[in-house]
Amino acid sequence: MGRGPAIAAALGVLCVASAVLLVEGAELTTQLSNGFTATHAAGAAAAFEPVLYAPNAVFAFGFLRVGTASLDLAVVHLPSSFPLWRATPARLGDWSRAATLTFDDSSLVLADQDGGVLWRTLNAVGDTVALLNSSNLVVRRYDTDAPAWQSFDRPSDTLVVDQNFTGASPLLISSNRRFALRLGRTYMALRMEFYGGRATPEYWRHTALEAQPGNASEPPVYGRLDARGFFGLYLEGGARKVDVLSFDTFLQSPAGAFRRMTLDDDGNLRAYYWTDNSTAWASDYRAISERCELPTPCGAYSLCVPGDAQCQCLDDDDDSTTSAPPCRRAEETADLCSGGDGQSQQVGFDVVRRARVSVAYKEQLPVKTNTTEAECERACAANCSCWGAAFNGASGYCYLIDFPVETMVYEADDRKVGYFKIRRAAAARASRMSPGMAAATAALSLVLVCLAASGAYSGYRLWERRRRKRAGMEQELVPGPYKDLKSMASSNSSLKA
């Protein structure tokens, strides 16, 4: 595809622009002023339509197609086509219909073709909009550097270098919206999101090494990704570092590496970096290193066998029959309680019992000690918000699973037994739906996100090629996003399994 036309097309969306960056004749807009309007044409061919570039031409902000036909605003890392930030309105736009982005009356507004507001910057009064070299999208007054509004305060699934993640920040949410990262006063934690956030079991927690949980006058921690290759936890109101999650490249950070930390769709929190020579993101940190310790590597009602990370279904009678997942049960979208508030009647359920099972993240579950297997079962059976229980006959510990059963972990110990409820009435309906519609949709949206930015990417390639030529190192870049897409898609497909 011609690069010139791509840029021309990208710029064609602009109606008003106030500052431009000159890249050997091609003009890239680097600032928007009040009165700016850009239009997304119904069903546009390019999956990303940039309207604003960072001065380093590595990032652009514009209309992004999400999934097959939704429209969002995003800040995209052009060399990889990866969206670092998305506006994520409650109601996404429709790609097949026209939409407008305006900067008027001091706020950025995304509206559909009927003028319905899909998303806008709130509580901000500004004169200009710019995308910084850090990828931060900022709305500012002329007379001050401090932004009135910045995308860094509203992360989606990704954090970048120098972006402060605090207890007051919105949660980091995976793009399939099933997992979240949050900061507590002295720790960071990953949790699952069920029933639209009414059940949020935690599956990973890291407490800051030098924080003092017992000291109420100590300020809470905030986190920040550091270009040197670590995620630091600091005390608010100062720069006192209380912990460091160091990455594999710590102290030997590749020159010019651009880093991001993303809550991926498999529920793992990973750090990645990209250098000038990259064709795919390289990962140098993951919060959870064993696949079986992820929250749902094998899907709902399944069992993950450590070592070879093989998946089985929970209702297989014994270890030898290994019917491959996806297992027959679809993910649950409501608890087993019926009737109104205060009622604890239970809908009908079947029971599956299985030996040699355990939960990967049992530290975070409600526990009863000094129980017997029968008592453990009874405690769960009688409670409509309990979906299962894992009992350890050696210790007498009974862990109650107060959220839909996901993947259990195999342990070669006959004293570790599990009791699981399976909704009866919904089983037929559930199995008709392919397991994990959400996962499929998410996979699709990832595909499209990764295919995005063709116009912007061409613009970047032009700029990059000329830069390299100037630097006397002309070499053809191998387009990166597809490789990355494959690895993302495969990590994502584990959700469906």
Binding site for ligand NAG (CB under 6 A): 55-56, 133, 152, 162, 164, 212, 215, 217-218, 366, 370, 383, 385-386, 400, 402
Nearest-angstrom CA–CA distance, 454 and 451: 7
Which one, 466 or 483, has the nearer CB to ligand NAG? 466
Nearest-angstrom CA–CA distance, 392 and 380: 15
Which one, 385 or 493, has the nearer CB to ligand NAG? 385
Q: Any alpha helices (H) in 302-397, and if so which ranges?
A: 373-381
Nearest-angstrom CA–CA distance, 53 and 28: 6
Q: C-beta of 385: minimal distance to ligand NAG in Å? A: 5
Give CA 119 to chain center in angstroms: 20
Which one, 183 or 298, has the nearer CB to ligand NAG? 183
Torsion of CA 418, 421, 422, 424, to 10 degrees: 150
Nearest-angstrom CA–CA distance, 3 and 465: 11
The per-residue DSSP string of 32-43 comes to EETTEEEEEPTT
Which one, 280 or 400, has the nearer CB to ligand NAG? 400
Helices 3-12 and 454-470 pack at an angle, to 10 degrees, of: 130
Looking only at the bridges linking them, the beta strands covering 221-226 and 70-77 are unpaired
Length of the chain, please? 497
Report, in angstroms and rounded to the nearest whole number, the Rg of the chain calculated over CA atoms: 25
CB atoms within 10 A of CB 171: 16
Tokens 């690069």: give the residue: 3
Q: Are 75 and 132 in contact (CB under 8 A)?
A: no
Tokens 């990764």: give the residue: 450
Which one, 185 or 206, has the nearer CB to ligand NAG? 185
DSSP 304: E
Q: C-beta of 109: minimal distance to ligand NAG in Å? A: 23
Q: C-beta of 166: minimal distance to ligand NAG in Å? A: 8
Sheet of 282-286, strands arranged across = 158-160, 258-263, 269-274, 282-286
The three-state secondary structure class of 246 is strand
Which one, 95 or 222, has the nearer CB to ligand NAG? 222
Which one, 121 or 454, has the nearer CB to ligand NAG? 121
Which one, 128 or 385, has the nearer CB to ligand NAG? 385
Q: C-beta of 401: minimal distance to ligand NAG in Å? A: 9
Q: C-beta of 370: minimal distance to ligand NAG in Å? A: 4
Q: C-beta of 219: minimal distance to ligand NAG in Å? A: 7
Which one, 38 or 380, has the nearer CB to ligand NAG? 380
Sign of CA dihedral 268, 273, 274, 280: negative
Residue closest to 446 by CA, chosen among 493, 491, 497, 489? 489
Q: C-beta of 39: minimal distance to ligand NAG in Å? A: 28
Q: C-beta of 55: minimal distance to ligand NAG in Å? A: 4
Q: Are 449 and 64 in contact (CB under 8 A)?
A: yes
Q: C-beta of 464: minimal distance to ligand NAG in Å? A: 12
Q: C-beta of 287: minimal distance to ligand NAG in Å? A: 22
Which one, 217 or 289, has the nearer CB to ligand NAG? 217
